[in-house]
Amino acid sequence: MARRLHCLALVTAVLCPLYQPAMAAPADTSAPEFSVKAAYLYKFGGFVEWPETVFASAASPTKLCLLGDDPFGQILDKVVDGQRIADHPVVVERLKAVMPKSGCQILYISDRDDHKISAALEAVRGENVLTITDGARTPQTTGIINFVIAENRVRFEIDDQAASVNGVTISSKLLDLARSAKRRG
C-alpha cells in the first residue's frame, strides 16, 4: 500500500505542475491533462477495495471502462499496459452505453450531456463500480470521484458516501489526497 501511495504522489508531483490549461483551446489528447488523468484512472484502483465476488476468478481482469468520447486516445492503453490492480491485470474497454451488470470495476464517464451522465450513474448505482466523472456540474452528474481543475492542476473530489452505496471501499490515504471528500455517515 505504501508503494501505491508513493506512486500516486509521484505522479501528482511530476505531472500535475505540467498542466496549464489553454483558454478556449480544443481538446488535445496529447495534452498533459489527459496524461495525468489517465495515470490517475489506473492508480485510483490501487486505493479501492471491491468485494471478493466482483471477480469471477483470481485471474479475472480489472475492467477500466470508458463511456462516451475517448479523450485519451492511446495514452490510457499505454499507461495500463502490463499493469495490475490487486493481482488482477488491467484491461481498458470502451463503451457506447452502460447497462447494469456491465462487468466494469472502474467506469470513467466522459460525456458532457447531463442526462446521459445521470443515466449512466443510475445504471450502475448499487453495483460494485467505482464511477469517475470529469468536471461534473451537479450532484446528479457527479461520480464517486470527480476530476476538477483547480489552481491550473488536475485535482479530484471524492464522495465516499456514494462509494458506500456502490459497495466499494476507498482507502483513507486516497481520501486524504482529495481536494475535498464527502465522508461516509
Express each pLDDT in 166-182 by its tens digit.
Answer: 999 999 999 999 999 99
- The answer to whether residue 18 scores a pLDDT higher than 70 is no
Out of 97-101, 130-134, 137-141, the most confident range is 130-134
pLDDT confidence tier of residue 136, bands split at 50, 70 and 90 = confident
- The answer to whether residue 144 scores a pLDDT higher than 80 is yes
Q: Which residues, 6 or more positions from 41, have their beta carbon under 8 angstroms from its beta carbon?
A: 64, 76, 79, 106, 108, 132
All domains of the chain in start order, with CATH? 2-182 (3.40.50)
- CB atoms closer than 10 angstroms to residue 11: 18
How far apart CA 52 and CA 88 sit, in angstroms, is 12
Q: Which residues, 6 or more positions from 125, have their beta carbon under 8 angstroms from its beta carbon?
A: 165, 166
